[in-house]
């Protein structure tokens, strides 16, 4: 009898230890050290096209006169909040991030899709920066629920071409990365606090920014439409690699072909690799293995880049970077 109890206890300890080790493994992230030397330097002058990145696919692109922002997501609620708490834009974090990047105005805020990690702060950020909110009908409902007037919102669609200063911005509807959580649309104004599941996908967009000083393609979610960018030329591609590390090699190669090879871009800047549950005042980490594998996607992309003579670089956090094409490795 006592022997049975001892064996039972031992078995329980082994199972518990295995579960704990598995959880630690799943919630840990690939190290970022292999990519340190790929990080672009801060620009030394403020001429030309400048980009700033704030994690996920939150970007600004500006030429000194006109500033275009993408997504404007700064709140970055923790996993605990995401799973169990109603979500509201974190005004202190938004202000701190904008101050860190010295961003005090934008002409337009283009939102990729209506998941929380792209859209949840969009109404506050558009209001704060005096930017017009540009997105799907679902994103427009986040704007309305967040208090923006109709004159501060524009619903965009595939094929739209917008002119802002010297930028010509082309809108492409592209699919979300495979198996999105919370699909569907937001059909009523969404006023925070709201649950994670309320931030339903809506349409997902990629953006081409044509400017006399450069052509920039932004792909905020890692998927593609065969042939869509056949007629598009780009110098730089901001390429989402979010959840790409879980995709098979064929998918990654097709994604590269349809976004980088199709546009003949010479510089690829992976985005959406960071763990968006960590605030921006803590060091960035890659998404945990539970969701993604940055090492797997980066290894494959770097091989493809080497073959094609394309440079891969990462953005530093918040500081402006001049968007000129560096030499390929």
Q: Which stretch binds Zn ion (CB under 5 A): 2-10, 66-74, 112-120, 161-169?
A: 112-120
Among 98, 103, 115, 220, interactor with Zn ion by CB under 5 A: 115
Residue 152 or 251: the one with the smaller Cβ distance to Zn ion is 251
What backbone phi and psi angles, to 5 degrees, belong to 240? -65, 135
Structure-block tokens of residue 256: 């590269």
| DSSP per residue, 225-257 | -TTTTTT---SEEEEE-TTGGGS-HHHHHHHHI
Q: How far apart are CA 194 and CA 326, in angstroms?
A: 43
Residue 138 or 300: the one with the smaller Cβ distance to Zn ion is 138
Q: Which stretch binds Zn ion (CB under 5 A): 8-16, 107-115, 275-283, 290-298?
A: 107-115
Residue nearest to Zn ion (CB): 115
Q: Which residues contact residue 290 at a Cβ distance below 8 angstroms, ignoring those fewer than 6 apart?
A: 26, 27
| DSSP per residue, 263-314 | TT-SEEEEES-B-TTS-TTS---BPPTTT--HHHHHHHHHHHHHHHT-EE-B
- Is residue 200 at the binding interface for Zn ion, with CB under 5 A as the rule? no
Residue 183 or 326: the one with the smaller Cβ distance to Zn ion is 183
- Is residue 76 at the binding interface for Zn ion, with CB under 5 A as the rule? no
Q: How far is the CB of 273 from Zn ion (least distance, A)?
A: 14
Residue 256 or 276: the one with the smaller Cβ distance to Zn ion is 276
Q: How far is the CB of 115 from Zn ion (least distance, A)?
A: 3
Q: Which parts of 288-327 interact with Zn ion (CB under 5 A)? A: none
Residue 203 or 235: the one with the smaller Cβ distance to Zn ion is 203
**Residues binding Zn ion: number (CB under 5 A):** 1
Interface ranges with Zn ion (CB under 5 A): 115
């Amino acid at each position: 009898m006592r022997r049975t109890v001892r064996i039972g206890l031992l078995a329980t300890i082994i199972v518990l230890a295995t579960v704990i080790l598995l959880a630690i493994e799943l919630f840990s992230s690939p190290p970022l050290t292999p990519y340190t030397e790929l990080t672009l330097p801060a620009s030394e002058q403020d001429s030309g096209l400048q980009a700033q990145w704030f994690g996920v696919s939150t970007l600004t692109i500006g030429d000194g006169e006109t500033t275009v922002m993408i997504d404007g997501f700064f709140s970055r609620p923790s996993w605990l909040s995401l799973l169990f708490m109603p979500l509201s834009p974190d005004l202190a974090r938004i202000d701190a991030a904008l101050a860190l990047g010295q961003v005090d105005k934008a002409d337009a805020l283009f939102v990729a899709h209506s998941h929380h990690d792209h859209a949840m702060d969009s109404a506050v950020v558009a209001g704060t920066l005096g930017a017009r909110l540009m997105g799907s009908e679902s994103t427009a409902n986040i704007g309305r629920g967040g208090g923006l007037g109709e004159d501060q919102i524009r619903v965009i669609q595939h094929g739209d071409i917008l002119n802002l200063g010297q930028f010509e911005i082309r809108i492409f509807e592209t699919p979300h990365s495979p198996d999105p959580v919370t699909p569907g649309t937001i059909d009523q104004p969404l006023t925070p606090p709201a649950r994670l599941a309320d931030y339903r996908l809506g349409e997902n967009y990629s953006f081409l920014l044509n400017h006399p000083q450069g052509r920039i393609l932004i792909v905020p979610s890692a998927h593609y439409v065969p042939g869509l960018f056949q007629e598009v030329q780009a110098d730089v591609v901001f390429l989402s690699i979010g959840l790409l590390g879980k995709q098979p090699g064929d998918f990654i190669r097709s994604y590269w072909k349809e976004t980088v090879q199709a546009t003949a871009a010479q510089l690829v800047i992976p985005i959406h690799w960071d763990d968006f549950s960590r605030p921006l005042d803590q060091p960035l980490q890659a998404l945990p293995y539970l969701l993604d594998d940055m090492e797997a996607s980066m290894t494959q992309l770097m091989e493809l880049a080497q073959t094609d003579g394309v440079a891969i670089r990462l953005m530093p956090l918040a500081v402006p970077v001049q968007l000129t094409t560096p030499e390929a490795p």
